[in-house]
Structure 1
Amino acid sequence: MDRNIIKEFIAKRVAKELKDGDVVNLGIGLPTMVANYVPEGMNVLFQSENGFIGLGPAPLESNEDPNIVNAGGQCVTVLPGGVFFDSAISFGIIRGGHVDVTVLGALEVDEKGNLANWMIPGKMVPGMGGAMDLVVGAKKVIIAMEHTAKGNHKILKECKLPLTAANEVNLIITEMGVIEVTQNGLFLMEINPNFTIEDVQKATEAELTISESLTKMEI
């Protein structure tokens, strides 16, 4: 399947987790696509860690404003009523527990809810950014990512890369399924009907418990 289609599928499913009135922070990459799929009529306030609330959908081509960008440097739109502020206020919002949901990508996530998403030893990295603050400060942490990387497991028994935070992930959403992180491990709650349970387990290093109410992913 085309990777852009996969990312779109994941972003659409993540959007279903959002509720009216939520303050939501989207990490760089795939998570930024979620803003494009909020149901019409739902009021979700997207916060960008570089200093504004009121992030809207991606601008149309040739209609970008280079002065309005998200934390990843991508051109974005601001909805009516959006506000701008400095980094101190932005991180006060994040660290103060005012973000209801953060959606982030991951290099690795494990059965204990540990997250590694900022560094591969030996490679140049721009830094952790606000990821550590977001994972600890947000009330709900959703990991939105492709299930594997070039066939290699990303959902592990134990993360091998340096951690962003420990025991903070609540939900993992991939193109294969929706997995809840609990004190008793990983529960497969929804499955993409294009895959079997065996397919999902084979693509996952950690052991999955299959929910008794397992349903099909719908977007």
Structure 2
Amino acid sequence: MSGAAKRPSRPYAGRPAEERRAERRRRLLDAGLELFGAGPGYRASSVPALCARADLSTRQFYEEFRNLEDLLTVLYRESHRGVEEAMVAALAEVTDGGALERVAAAFRACASAVAADPRTMRIMFVEIVGVSPDLERHRLEARTRWADLLLAELSVAAERGEIAARDYRLAAFAFLGAVNGLLHTWSAGAVEATLDQIQDELMRIFLQIFGSPGRAPDA
């Protein structure tokens, strides 16, 4: 015989406990986005400071997260998910274009999504770097998902004869390294450029690595 059925949580002020807990978690994440992404940064933040920003107690923080790195990981994964969704949506809108048009649409959407919130951009490309081996693994997994997305497009382009048929995996990671490096440098304020200039430069890099549609690159 199974145990007693779990009682539904009682509403407080007309709201169920699950809804209130989800709101608290979102407030903690929003406070982390502000502290890590706008200042003083992840390494200069503390649990008490974050809780003060969220107007919650440290007890409520530890009910949701193990530590600040746990919260940073959630923010990073949320940010990447949003960027990936923007890229997939952009690809879905280009139904008749070749490799350049589709990849251009995807990575312009990528740059636009990243640049939409400077706090998110800083977390994705600055604050996340070198925090821990576990977060480095998350960074690599995210880059691998982007590579798989790019490789799927390149495979179709090769079948159409738009680019040479070969293994593009190393080239895909090289291109993504350039994407991450340029966006990191831009988000850190080391170069002055508009979003359009960043997007155009990424497409120039793409052409240099993969060749333009209708012309197979040299071996």
Relative to its length, the structure with more helix (as a share) is: 2
TM-score bracket relative to the smaller structure: under 0.3
Relative to its length, the structure with more strand (as a share) is: 1
TM-score normalized by the length of structure 2: 0.25
TM-score normalized by the length of structure 1: 0.25
Tell me which structure has the larger Cα radius of gyration: 2
